[in-house]
């Protein structure tokens, strides 16, 4: 178990390094840092975190969906994009920040099976309504929904912090290689990099004022 966790930790580090290098090539100011965390064995470890500068997004980290932690052996991983607010949210505004995506299909059999994807809708309150009016974000999600997963959700985890939760994946090595491939720009729009989460983060900060 220790050997598997050690191997997975190396893969996570390589993925974050690849994303960091990609951001640098794109001219995004960032630092690759390490922060304390606990792995699946309950051991204290240092996990890679990308600290962004002069952006609406503040941090990018990898998390495992079962524990919200550092992606243990067999875990499904996803990127977590963190937005730190200058002004704390009220209890109502915390609710207003929650949003999830819903795929819209036409032509489903008996309203359940198959169908053609015609859109991705945000479900929630104030922030969801704002995101639904941003055609640029809608286009980003639509260009990816057939070949990639799409954004899971947005949630305020405290009065001063809002998280954008990326799509799930189990192959960090494969994702790392994509940042060096010919489709590296394309995956940015598929919530595996920076472009679309940064657009969403701008709305989050505007909505929190």
CA 64: distance to chain centroid?
A: 12
Mean pLDDT of 147-153: 63
Q: What is the pLDDT of residues 3-12, one digit of tens each?
A: 777 787 888 8
pLDDT score recorded for residue 151? 62
pLDDT, the chain, mean: 82
Q: Please, which residues have CB within 8 angstroms of residue 161's CB and are 6 or more apart in sequence?
A: 82, 83, 84, 85
153-158 vs 77-84, strand pairing mode: unpaired
Decide if pLDDT at 160 tops 60.
yes
Query: Residue 67: its pLDDT value, please?
Result: 43
Query: Which pLDDT score, from 0 to 100, does residue 73 have?
Result: 41
Question: Domain range for residue 129?
Answer: 2-207
pLDDT in tens, 3-56: 777 787 888 899 999 999 989 988 999 999 998 877 666 677 789 999 999 999
| Cβ–Cβ < 8 Å for 9, 39 | yes
Predicted confidence (pLDDT) at residue 143 exceeds the cutoff of 90 = no
Contact 96, 125 (CB under 8 A): yes
Question: Could you give the maximum distance between any two Cα atoms of the chain, in Å?
Answer: 51
Alpha helix ranges (H) inside 38-110: 91-96
Number of C-beta neighbours around residue 75 at 10 A: 19
pLDDT exceeds cutoff 90 at 195:
no
DSSP-based three-state secondary structure for 47: strand
Residue 11 sits at φ, ψ, to 5 deg, of -65, -40
End-to-end CA distance of the chain: 47
Our count of domains for the chain comes to 1
Compute the C-alpha angle 157/89/66, nearest 5°. 5
d(CA 17, CA 159): 30
For position 134, what pLDDT does the model report?
94
């Amino acid at each position: 178990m220790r050997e598997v966790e050690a191997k997975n930790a190396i893969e996570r580090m390589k993925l974050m390094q690849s994303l960091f290098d990609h951001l640098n090539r794109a001219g995004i100011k960032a630092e690759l840092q390490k922060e304390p965390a606990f792995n699946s064995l309950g051991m204290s470890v240092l996990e890679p975190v990308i600290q962004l500068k002069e952006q609406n997004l503040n941090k990018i980290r990898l998390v495992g969906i079962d524990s919200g932690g550092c992606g243990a052996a067999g875990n499904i991983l996803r990127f977590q994009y963190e937005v730190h607010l200058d002004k704390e949210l009220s209890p109502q505004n915390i609710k207003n920040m929650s949003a999830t995506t819903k795929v819209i299909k036409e032509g489903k059999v008996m309203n359940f099976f198959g169908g053609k994807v015609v859109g991705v809708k945000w479900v929630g309150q104030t922030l969801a309504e704002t995101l639904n009016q941003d055609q640029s974000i809608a286009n980003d999600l639509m260009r990816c929904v057939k070949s990639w997963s799409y954004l899971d959700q947005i949630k305020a985890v405290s009065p001063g912090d809002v998280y954008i939760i990326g799509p799930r994946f189990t192959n960090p090595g494969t994702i790392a290689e994509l940042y060096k491939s010919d489709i590296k720009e394309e995956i940015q729009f598929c919530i595996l990099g920076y472009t679309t989460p940064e657009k969403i983060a701008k709305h989050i900060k505007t909505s929190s004022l």
